[in-house]
């Protein structure tokens, strides 16, 4: 009986990180007009979130966001105001 071997080799490495619970933290700061900004822990680029639907899902003190810069999921933490 043949065992399929393609599954692991075709899975993106980001999936392993999430499966193992390795989610990098990123400190978010409030910007004008309710926007949020964070620095991607992988690329060190600043990402500005202005989309209302995305912002509504980030209302909690710690929430996960799909990073548009590196494609991984980060845990956004709010800087104490």
The residue nearest Zn ion at its CB is 67
Q: Does 67 bind Zn ion (CB under 5 A)?
A: yes
Nearest CA-CA partner of 24 in 80, 71, 58, 79: 71
Of 1-9, 11-19, 32-40, 57-65, the segment contacting Zn ion by CB under 5 A is 32-40
Contact assessment for residue 79 and residue 28, using Cβ atoms and an 8 Å cutoff: yes
Binding of Zn ion by 70 (CB under 5 A): yes
Which residues are near Zn ion by CB under 5 A? Answer: 40, 42, 67, 69-70
């Amino acid at each position: 009986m043949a065992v399929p071997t393609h599954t692991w080799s075709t899975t993106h490495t980001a999936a392993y990180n999430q499966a193992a619970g390795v989610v990098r933290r990123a400190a978010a700061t409030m910007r004008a007009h309710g926007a949020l900004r964070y620095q991607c822990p992988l690329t060190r680029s600043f990402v500005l979130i202005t989309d209302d639907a995305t912002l509504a899902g980030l209302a909690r003190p710690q929430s996960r966001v799909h990073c548009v810069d590196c494609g991984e999921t980060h845990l956004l933490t709010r800087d104490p105001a």
